[in-house]
């Protein structure tokens, strides 16, 4: 029997590594995985460096580790089973039934068998979620309260600590002039990471534009993400000590050039298994209990990890494969090239896309209200934007991006989103400082220099009236559409067409 740790399951504190201390460990580094999409080089460096560090640490502790660097997983499994005939591999249960069947067949083809154990990267088990969800009415707020009660996190005698389930009303502030967030931690590459960087550059650079969605992640900044548990724990310490207190109030704010704000930057470590959700939640709650962070910040962070992350994982598990292809609005536009090359005059999109190109990251409100919002009102076909997020972000996996992008961002399926998160320049202007430095006019809807978000927003409502007017959460906006004359609507449609032509020509 062998413990097979897949690259995004580097869990040290529990699970098969702890339960089977005498068994050897298998890791497979498959190059074909890295060729599936035009992945950001930092994403590949993160994954492969974390795997190699994990291997070295286990070996230093005296554990037997078989580490195969092969072209495909099939090759790695075949090499393993050839050396260990009839072996049983114990591995974490994949997210979906189809992924489980695929792994079973891969191992069987190689001549071995596989046994699945619970995925330790999450708090809520599949059976727990299924019991809560019943036949499939997903409401995040209800799930989150269920999880608070189940775990007892931020609960006192059956009630939420502080008397409220959330403190969103305190968490929509914009920072005062002159505010700067604490410098985010940066983890210098060691020799192992340097070797991976060189290998990734030599192996994958130059092949990006040969891939289906093109893409050029040229000149990223130096690699900065934690690749070991020790580093991940330091990142957690840094967040709780320096960033958590201001995380809440500014969690929806955006500032030009401030990519990190006070966000936790822990998603890469959580999604690789270097940190557990329970430990990051408990550290944040401890900070509240010792008066070093306010409740609105701590509750906002707990909701991200205990609520949203767990919720999406299970919706994905239950709604795949249909969710990946969902497109209830029939959006069919190609993803504009500026998502890849950053070549746009729009100040908000330019800054956020540049950040993704430089470091494979932007925070959640930039993802939802700038990148996905623009894609939604522009009418981008959901699978294209999903692939872009999946390829470009260091913390992205298919289970992360598909519900976030296809459903939450683009309102593709309506399985949990109760409305499309569409907005004009108003939202960006309210929550950021982008508009003041933008060549587009935030208050203009049509005519030269009008902000593209404005015409696209009204055009989006107009185009999707049959689906959206009856939705009580957005239907009110149709009273504003109704107040527009036919001539105004015609100008809006014309401007929306012009914007799409400019985007296609690389002139937006």
Return d(Cα 412, Cα 420) in angstroms, integer: 9
- Min. distance of Cβ 333 from ligand SF4 in angstroms? 18
- Min. distance of Cβ 355 from ligand SF4 in angstroms? 14
Q: Which residue is nearest to ligand SF4 (CB)?
A: 438
Q: List binders of ligand SF4 among 402-461 (CB under 6 A).
A: 425, 428-429, 434-435, 438, 440, 442, 451-453
Q: List binders of ligand SF4 among 307-346 (CB under 6 A).
A: 346
State both tokens at 107. 């191992």
If the CB atoms of residues 153 and 338 are measured against ligand SF4, the closer one turns out to be: 338
State both tokens at 257. 């050039």
In sequence order, the 6+-apart residues with CB closer than 8 A to the CB of 481 are 458, 461, 462, 465, 489
If the CB atoms of residues 190 and 507 are measured against ligand SF4, the closer one turns out to be: 507
Give the total of residues touching ligand SF4 (CB under 6 A): 14
If the CB atoms of residues 312 and 438 are measured against ligand SF4, the closer one turns out to be: 438
Produce one character per residue of 485-494: b if its CB has 16 or more CB atoms within 10 Å, e if not. eeeeeebbbe
Number of C-beta neighbours around residue 203 at 10 A: 14
- Min. distance of Cβ 446 from ligand SF4 in angstroms? 14
Produce one character per residue of 313-350: b if its CB has 16 or more CB atoms within 10 Å, e if not. bbbbbbbbeebbebebbebeeebbbbbbbbebebbbbb
If the CB atoms of residues 138 and 427 are measured against ligand SF4, the closer one turns out to be: 427
- Nearest C-alpha neighbor of 300 from the set 290, 316, 287: 287
3 state SS for 158-184: CEEHHHCCCCHHHCCCCCCCCCCCCCC
- Min. distance of Cβ 502 from ligand SF4 in angstroms? 12
Among 103, 347, 365, 410, binds ligand SF4 (CB under 6 A): 347
If the CB atoms of residues 38 and 452 are measured against ligand SF4, the closer one turns out to be: 452
- Min. distance of Cβ 281 from ligand SF4 in angstroms? 34
Return d(Cα 480, Cα 311) in angstroms, integer: 34
- Min. distance of Cβ 362 from ligand SF4 in angstroms? 14
Among 348, 365, 385, 468, binds ligand SF4 (CB under 6 A): 348
- Verify binding: residue 357, ligand SF4, rule CB under 6 A: no
If the CB atoms of residues 170 and 426 are measured against ligand SF4, the closer one turns out to be: 426
Vertex 169 angle, CA 167 and 171, to 5°: 75
Vertex 123 angle, CA 118 and 128, to 5°: 75
If the CB atoms of residues 385 and 435 are measured against ligand SF4, the closer one turns out to be: 435
- Min. distance of Cβ 425 from ligand SF4 in angstroms? 4
Element at 116 (helix H, strand E)? strand 113-117
- Verify binding: residue 495, ligand SF4, rule CB under 6 A: no
Residues making contact with ligand SF4 (CB under 6 A):
346-348, 425, 428-429, 434-435, 438, 440, 442, 451-453
């Amino acid at each position: 029997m062998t413990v097979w740790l897949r690259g995004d399951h580097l869990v040290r504190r529990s699970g098969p590594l702890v339960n089977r201390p005498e068994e050897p460990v298998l890791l497979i580094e498959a190059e074909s995985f890295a060729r599936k999409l035009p992945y950001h080089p930092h994403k590949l460096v993160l994954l492969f460096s974390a795997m190699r560090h994990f291997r070295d640490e286990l070996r230093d502790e005296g554990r037997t580790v078989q580490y195969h660097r092969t072209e495909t997983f099939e090759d790695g499994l075949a090499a393993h089973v050839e050396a260990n005939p009839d072996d049983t591999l114990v591995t974490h249960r994949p997210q979906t039934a189809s992924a489980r069947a695929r792994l079973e067949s891969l191992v069987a083809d190689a001549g071995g068998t596989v046994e699945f154990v619970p995925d330790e990267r999450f708090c809520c088990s599949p059976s727990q979620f299924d019991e809560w969800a019943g036949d499939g009415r997903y409401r995040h707020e209800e799930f989150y309260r269920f999880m608070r009660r189940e775990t007892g996190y931020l609960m006192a005698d059956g009630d939420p600590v502080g008397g409220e389930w959330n403190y969103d009303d305190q968490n929509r502030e914009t920072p005062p002039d002159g505010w700067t967030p604490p410098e985010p931690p940066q983890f210098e590459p060691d020799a192992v990471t340097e070797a991976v960087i060189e290998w990734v550059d030599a192996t994958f650079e130059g092949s990006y534009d040969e891939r289906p969605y093109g893409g050029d992640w040229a000149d990223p900044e130096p690699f900065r993400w934690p690749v070991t548990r020790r580093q991940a724990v330091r990142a957690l310490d840094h967040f709780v000590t320096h960033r958590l207190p201001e995380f809440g109030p500014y969690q929806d704010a955006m500032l030009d050039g401030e990519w990190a704000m006070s966000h936790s930057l822990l998603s890469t470590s959580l999604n690789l298994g270097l940190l557990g959700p329970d430990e990051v939640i408990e550290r944040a709650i401890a900070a509240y209990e010792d008066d070093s962070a306010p409740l609105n910040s701590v509750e906002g962070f707990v909701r991200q990890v205990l609520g949203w992350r767990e919720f999406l994982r299970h919706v994905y598990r239950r709604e795949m494969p249909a969710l990946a292809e969902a497109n209830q609005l029939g959006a069919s536009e190609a993803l504009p090239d500026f998502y890849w090359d950053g070549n746009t005059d729009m100040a908000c999109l330019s800054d956020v896309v540049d950040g993704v190109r430089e470091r494979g990251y932007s925070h959640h409100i930039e993802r939802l209200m700038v990148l996905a919002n623009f894609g939604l009102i522009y009418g981008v076909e959901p699978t294209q934007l999903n692939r872009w997020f999946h390829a470009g972000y260091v913390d992205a996996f298919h289970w992360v991006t598909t519900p976030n992008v296809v459903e939450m961002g683009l309102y593709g399926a309506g399985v949990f989103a109760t409305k499309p998160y569409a907005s004009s320049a108003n939202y960006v202007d309210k929550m950021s400082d982008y508009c003041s430095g933008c060549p587009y006019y935030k208050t203009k809807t049509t005519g030269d220099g009008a902000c593209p978000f404005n015409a696209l927003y009204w055009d989006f409502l107009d185009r999707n009236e049959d689906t959206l007017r009856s939705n009580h959460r957005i239907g009110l906006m149709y009273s504003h559409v109704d107040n527009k004359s036919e001539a105004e609507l015609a100008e809006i449609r014309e401007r929306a067409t012009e914007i799409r032509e400019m985007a296609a020509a690389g002139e937006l």
